[in-house]
Amino acid sequence: MQTIYAAKFARRYVGPTSQWTRERWATSDGDFVDVDWCQDGAPQGEEAPLLVLFHGLEGSSNSHYAQAFAAETRARGWHMAVPHFRGCSGELNWAPRAYHSGDFEEIGWMLSRFRSQYHGPMFAVGISLGGNALMRWAGEMGRAATQVLDGVASVCSPVDLTTSGNAIDSGFNKAVYARMFLATMKPRALQKLKQFPGLFDPMELMAANTLYAFDDVFTAPLHGFRGTDDYWDRASAKPGLSRVQVPALVLNARNDPFIPASSLPTKDQVSEHVTLWQPETGGHVGFTAGRFPGDLKEMPWAVLEWMTQHG
């Protein structure tokens, strides 16, 4: 209920809708990524911090959490940017690759690009899938991450992809959430097949009724994994949390329907630079506060407050 309520009913911001300016970045493989910059009275110059927000599965700058963070950065006078994973900005990308939960190479390229053009304080937040990829990057980079960012945070991220994937593919989650994700992922994959005939078997794709089956046909082989099991195992951020050297916040509600509490990292599994926040409630990015219909400002405020104090 918290998950659905936050996404569908709670207030995302107070005042006017956030305004975005889009910038297209060319990639080294002849493709592109679209970056949306929040223009809601953002300060000029580099004295203010920059927040880079990586969206979740099938997300964008229009997602409820992105709009809530935009409102909070506006209130603080921060800059904010939302880089879209390939295919998520409303236009099909040009290359065969798409995006996946452990895409830390793409995260690294994006962050390096931001750092090359912005020299003030810089933080990154990843939501769900984006948070797993971001923490995967932080674990891979180790101390070098501190040369790029002042702090990172993941929000409701499935850092153990196998456990979370199995949870989404079961019971109520399969009937509601898996079906919702597949409703947009399958058509996009078929568009990709038109670009690159023979990329995968369309009959197997259409028969997939779980994220596991979809990843086995499309995501895993397209990105160099042997199958879903190999993908979920190698792409999970949890094993690398002990190597994180940049200030990091890992926030997960213990009643998240996608992420069983038993799979959440414990203090002995992370480095001294990682702070674990595991409130009992909040669902999947479902943190709301205030009287009906409630609003989403509490979580972005808390995350940015943590970054201000620890970055």
**In the prediction, which pLDDT does 287 show?**
82
Does residue 296 carry a pLDDT above 60? yes
Domain spans in the chain, listed from the N-terminal domain onward: 2-160+236-310, 161-235
Alpha-carbon distance of 176 to 179, in angstroms, equals: 6
Residue with tokens 């909040």: 282
Task: Fold for 2-160+236-310, please state it.
Answer: Rossmann fold (3.40.50)
Token digits of residue 138: 């932080």
Please write the tens of the pLDDT for every residue from 242-259.
999 999 999 999 999 999
Burial of 200 from C-beta contacts in 10 A (0-12 / 13-18 / 19+): middle
Please write the tens of the pLDDT for every residue from 202-235.
999 999 999 999 999 999 999 999 999 999 999 9
Does residue 45 carry a pLDDT above 60? no
Token digits of residue 37: 């910059």
DSSP state of 84: P
Catalytic residues: 128, 256, 284
Alpha-carbon distance of 249 to 134, in angstroms, equals: 11
Edge-to-edge strands, sheet with 248-251: 20-26, 32-38, 79-83, 50-54, 122-127, 151-155, 248-251, 274-277
Torsion, Cα 170 172 176 179, to 10 degrees, reads: 20
**In the prediction, which pLDDT does 8 show?**
63
CA angle 57, 146, 300 (to 5 degrees): 45
Q: How confident is the model at residue 18 (pLDDT cuts 50, 70, 90)?
A: confident
Please write the tens of the pLDDT for every residue from 163-180.
999 999 999 999 999 999
What are the percentages of helix, strand and coil residues in the chain, rounded to 5? 45, 15, 40
pLDDT, greater one: 143 or 41: 143
Token digits of residue 176: 């509601």
Does residue 27 carry a pLDDT above 80? yes
**In the prediction, which pLDDT does 242 show?**
98
Does residue 140 carry a pLDDT above 80? yes
**In the prediction, which pLDDT does 9 show?**
56
Average of per-residue pLDDT across 278-302: 82
